[in-house]
A and B are shown apart, each in its own frame.
Chain A
Amino acid sequence: MLSIEGLRHVYGPVVALDNVSFMLAPGQTLAIFGPNGAGKTTLVKVLAGLIRPQRGTVRVDGGRRAIGWIGHESHLYDHLTVRENLLFWASLYGVPAAAREARAAGVAERLGLADRVERPVWSLSRGLAQRAAIARALIHDPRVLLLDEPFTGLDLAAAAELRVLLGELRGAGRTLVLATHNVDEGVELATHVAFQRRGRIVHFAPRGGRDAAQVADAYRRAMSDG
């Protein structure tokens, strides 16, 4: 379970998070939409534990080990191979030594990287590097997955594959938080939808039966109010 309460964080005069609270249960996926500068990345970084909020609390069942994070950057070492990167991150997340190779091979296979695991990251295309970054985030089988603009750099086929993968993770009881400025991305994955504007969550509700067009319409209205 993931719960946050009363989060506030400012950068000088800019309010990045303003009294943000919500709770997500296992199997729920929250899609956070907002324009650039709305505070989505700050929110994801606070959830990941990278930024300590000036006010409020974050609770994640299982602590840091339970979190997988896909940010704007891949967090991979260019001069290590994909396999070496995955093994390194697996060791940091406490994956038992005997299980690391199999785990790395498994996530690489799942992300379509099986035939590229021995290639250094610098030699991968942007799309493949993004897949490797996703593999890195999944190497320890996290219970909570935080995704900040995860579709950036992926071609249509890879983006569709990622949606399928995220759907599988949700089905397996993982909690997903997806931040994006593009309402068309990831709506069908979401069980809950939030709109963020100037640090404030101005809309938080179950998606229900709404499709992408209906969510986009509600988003436009929320962004234009006040």
Chain B
Amino acid sequence: MAELLRQAWAVARKDLVLELRTRTALVSAVVFTALVLTLFNFGRDPTAVPTLDLAPTVLWVTFTFAAMLTLNRAFQLELENQALEGLLVSPLSRTSLYWGKLIANLAFVAVVDAVGLPLFVLFFNVSVSRVLLPLVGVIALATLGFVAVGTLFSALVIRTRFAELLLLVILLPFLLPPLIGAVQVTARLLAGRPLSESVGYLKLLAAYDIVFVSLASFLFRFTVDE
């Protein structure tokens, strides 16, 4: 297990260094988040639909598509000089490779979420100070599920044509359960309802994370091996 984690960290650290140096996916995702929130802010009629009814959906749709921008990058950088082939020939376990990509993707999406949440508060004028901790918890739970599945599928489509489009098409149906859970919990939190009302959805998010992190860790080898 120590070797597995050591190798996973080596992969994750390499991806983080590469992203910090090129800033390709991160800047795109952050700008995308800001633009979408701005568009939703000016493209809605606040007198027609109450802000609180719309805000949770806007937040999670924005986070979902922004996450996809960073997920696309995860394996594209391994096509550079066919580094992926080098990884597959090395003693690096497939599980370590998956976990390394998962850790790096979680870090990227966390940055996007960290930038997106204040912008969301600003544009939608919602108060999150009382529910910040549970809200961050929900974001963390849902993000882990998103990224676990997204990392698996980004490896699956990387050798195909139109990989970005294909990732969207096959990933979105799998994101429905955590998306529904996250929107429902966020709506209740922003409405000032007690967290106990959302226990069912929180269990759904936690179960989704456990099932898909385990399943993706197991299935990953079948997506990268020739």
Contact = CB atoms under 8 A, between A and B. Distances in A.
Nearest to B84: A75
A92 B22 contact: no
Interface string A45-88: 00011111000000000011101010111111111100010001
A78 to B, nearest CB: 6
Contact of B10 (A48, A88, A121): A88
A195 interface: no
A125 interface: no
A89 interface: yes
Interface residues of A, number: 29
B91 A64 contact: yes
B18 A64 contact: no
Contacts of A208: none
A91 interface: yes
A63 B22 CA distance: 35
For this complex, into which size category does the number of interface residues on chain B fall? 20 to 34
A204 interface: no
Consensus secondary structure, chain B interface: helix
Interface stretch (B65-73, B75-83, B118-126, B212-220): B75-83
A209 interface: no
B91 A77 contact: no
A91 B82 CA distance: 19
A1 B3 CA distance: 26
B226 A51 contact: yes
B18 A92 contact: no
Contacts of B83: 75-77
Contacts, number: 68
B86 interface: yes
Given A76-B81, A88-B10, A48 B89 contact: yes
Nearest to A66: B91
B11 to A, nearest CB: 8
B87 interface: yes
B85 A77 contact: no
Consensus secondary structure, chain A interface: loop
Contacts of A74: 81
Interface in B6-23: 6-7, 10, 14, 17-18, 21-22
Contact of A93 (B81, B90, B225): B90
A127 to B, nearest CB: 15
Contacts of B87: 92
B90 A89 contact: yes
A197 interface: no
B92 interface: yes
Interface string B42-60: 0000000000000000000
A93 B17 CA distance: 20
A37 to B, nearest CB: 18
Contacts of B18: 77, 79-80
Interface of A: 48-52, 63-65, 67, 69, 71-80, 84, 88-89, 91-94, 121, 136
Interface of B: 3, 6-7, 10, 14, 17-18, 21-22, 77, 80-83, 85-92, 225-226
Q: Across the A-B interface, give the 7 residue pairs with the lowest CB-CB distance, nearest first.
A: A75-B86, A73-B82, A64-B91, A91-B10, A74-B81, A92-B90, A48-B89
